Amino acid sequence: MEHTEVLPTHPEETIATDAPIIVIGGGPAGLTAAYELIKQRHTPIVLEKNDKVGGIARTENYRGYHFDMGGHRFFTKSVQVQRFWQEVLGDNFLRRPRLSRIFYKSKFFHYPLKPLNALLGLGPIEGVRIIGSYLRWHLFPYKEEETFEQWVTNRFGKRLFETFFKSYTEKVWGIPCSELKAEWAAQRIKDLSLKTAITAMFLKPQETIKTLIEEFDYPKRGPGMLWTAVQEQIDAQGGQVRLNSNVVGIQREGQRITGVTVENGNGRSQILTGSSFISSMPVTQLIKWLDPPPPARVQQAADQLHYRDFLTVCLIIKQPELFPDNWIYIHDPNVQVGRIQNFKNWSADMVPDQATTSLGLEYFCNEGDGLWNMPDEELVALGKREIAKIGLAQAEDVIDGAVFRVEKSYPVYDSEYATSLEIIKEYLATLENLQTIGRNGLHRYNNQDHAMLTGMLAVRNLLYGEHNNLWLVNAEQAYHEELVLNQKLDEKTVTHVVDDMLDGAFPKLDPLSLGMSLGTVLGIGLLLATLFMIVTGGDASGKTLTLLAQFYPGYSVTAVGGFVGLGYGILTGFALGWGYALLRNAITALYLVSLHRTAQQSAMRQFFEHI
């Protein structure tokens, strides 16, 4: 059953104040907050340091070509966010099919996986290794999941982790997977495992897996089209969206923020006072700009938080079609590009000349490093070389290009971030009229819809005195925002949440899947062992493998006998796997029944009721 959260309505009138409400940042979170304030007859001032709105979700324009900074799918489980999108753009949304592939070892693999494509690409031997690795790590997983590597290995196996996760993830984040915290994986690929991915190859799953969304909405001219429309509505209703307005100072008196220092495009600065402040600027920058500054330990904690940046090399290519994908993940360590967007396949309106195609080559880097500081013409030349090396287009077909840099795109979940962020959260909670929202305001790798929800809830906190915990908003983990909206939960809702938690802690084994997997491994293993004995001239007199004939009638160390052994191995492995899964599920079920009864008679029940 799909979760959706519904924010409670408040028909009462709001109380206007003389001093404006200041919103720092004109990205999805900040503009959503301002839009909600306008609907309640407030006139906020939005301060955006760039020359256009949208933040990380902005759309850049070069010679009439529209370039989305990252490729933003519009999909959400939130009723309010979906309503917001339709209210602003309506028919300007397109319904787009998803097609994305992985480029690995000079081959393309569909993602989500497709059996024939994966088998032809990896080969049967590698396929057996991946299944064997999956079984090994499923039966004997890491006891603790502190890192990304441990989290993925427990769900996919070490072999698949090293094949399809390790190189790309380290290219994106710039740190080893052994240092990247598991919380990031839990957010981004919740409910996705090898079993669910394989199931999705053959059957349409009853519950939508967020990572495997097959269709999504998309504005005709990119996400910036939405946020420009929001900007126009805010301005039309008396609010202000000030571009090229960079906040470089935040004044406070005791526990209240009194104003912000703003530099505009011509180098002049001014101080704006306000009654309340909502900030989506990077929380590290916010701490730095506070005057007087916070305690030293808070400043030190802010210094421990890091970001990953990226730049997009946008190429215009004189070809009407190049490849069918919306985007391609590049797992090849021989090129620096990490992901390639084909914007014409997102929307034909992104390209003014249909005889051409536009690509966005995304390079993950750190602000100030060699790649970030490389001149634009050299980056365009690099992009031309790499698409030719991959085989997507000929370098001579590139007729123009541009480069756009996006700073502080990804909050890094390294080994220090959780402790540091907790210190900052405790301090910010003492500031009475300041709320932080959005990906960077919360240093949380949220999607666009999550960022918007934080803006909506911040306004409700401000206008109606609610106490929604913005730090918990992330639909990817457990739809926490459903549980922090001051709503009374009925018994069925509580039971559903508890059952979901227990299912996650004690996942049910599928007897058919485990049986087929183990049978395939044993069968192929016996076949290969037989063929190996034949090729190497091993002892076939009855002292080694031929002993199996006593248990498997018709088996012998011959080519025909090898295939007979394949069949016996499949049947034996299936029986063992199927039996183990049934026994394990039965024991788990008995334990869960006992746990439920204990919970009803102890303080554990109260704990569940307040999750």
Per-residue model confidence as pLDDT tens digits over 298-332: 999 999 999 999 999 999 999 999 999 999 999 88
Contact yes or no for 45/240 (Cβ under 8 A):
yes
> Which of 368-382, 522-536, 539-553, 590-604 is predicted least confidently?
590-604
Q: Binning pLDDT at 50, 70 and 90, where does residue 185 land?
A: low
Q: Binning pLDDT at 50, 70 and 90, where does residue 604 land?
A: very low
Predicted pLDDT of residue 19: 82
Q: Residue 375, preceding bond cis, omega within 30 degrees?
A: no
Q: Taking 60 as the threshold, does the pLDDT of residue 601 lie above it?
A: no
Question: DSSP secondary-structure letter at 546?
Answer: G
Q: What percent of the chain has pLDDT over 70?
A: 81
Tokens in use for 369? 């490093």
Over residues 278-291, the mean pLDDT reads 97
Q: Binning pLDDT at 50, 70 and 90, where does residue 524 land?
A: confident
| Burial degree of 356 (CB within 10 A; 0-12, 13-18, 19+) | middle
Over residues 81-91, the mean pLDDT reads 95
Predicted pLDDT of residue 255: 96
pLDDT (tens digit per residue) in 548-572: 777 788 888 888 877 887 888 888 8
What average pLDDT does the chain have? Answer: 83
Q: Binning pLDDT at 50, 70 and 90, where does residue 496 land?
A: very low
Q: Binning pLDDT at 50, 70 and 90, where does residue 177 land?
A: confident
Maximum average pLDDT range among 172-181, 192-201, 446-455, 598-607: 446-455
Residue type, 507: P
pLDDT (tens digit per residue) in 230-243: 999 999 999 999 99
Q: Taking 70 as the threshold, does the pLDDT of residue 605 lie above it?
A: no
Q: Binning pLDDT at 50, 70 and 90, where does residue 529 land?
A: confident
Q: Taking 80 as the threshold, does the pLDDT of residue 382 lie above it?
A: yes
Q: Taking 90 as the threshold, does the pLDDT of residue 296 lie above it?
A: yes
Please report, for residues 247, 304, 440, the alpha-carbon distance to residue 262 in angstroms, rounded to integers and kept in the order given: 4, 26, 19
Closest C-alpha among 261, 258, 310, 253 to residue 281: 261
pLDDT (tens digit per residue) in 333-347: 889 999 999 999 999
Please report, for residues 171, 323, 391, 489, the alpha-carbon distance to residue 84 in angstroms, rounded to integers and kept in the order given: 35, 33, 41, 25
Q: Taking 50 as the threshold, does the pLDDT of residue 494 lie above it?
A: no
Q: Taking 60 as the threshold, does the pLDDT of residue 210 lie above it?
A: no
Q: Binning pLDDT at 50, 70 and 90, where does residue 265 land?
A: confident
Q: Binning pLDDT at 50, 70 and 90, where does residue 12 land?
A: very low
Tell me the C-alpha distance between 578 and 61, whole Å.
Answer: 57
The residues, ordered by sequence, that sit 6+ positions from 26 with a Cβ below 8 Å of its Cβ are: 46, 47, 48, 50, 53, 54, 55, 227, 231, 241, 243
Predicted pLDDT of residue 197: 55
Q: Taking 90 as the threshold, does the pLDDT of residue 1 lie above it?
A: no
Q: What are the chain's domains?
A: 21-58+68-93+219-304+415-483 (3.50.50.60), 100-212 (no CATH), 307-411 (3.90.660.20), 511-600 (no CATH)
Predicted pLDDT of residue 310: 93
Q: Taking 80 as the threshold, does the pLDDT of residue 463 lie above it?
A: yes
Predicted pLDDT of residue 477: 41
More confident residue, 456 or 569: 456
Predicted pLDDT of residue 112: 63
pLDDT (tens digit per residue) in 23-57: 999 999 999 999 999 999 999 999 999 999 999 99
Contact yes or no for 448/219 (Cβ under 8 A):
no
The strand pairing partners of 24, in sequence order, are 47, 279
Over residues 508-520, the mean pLDDT reads 80
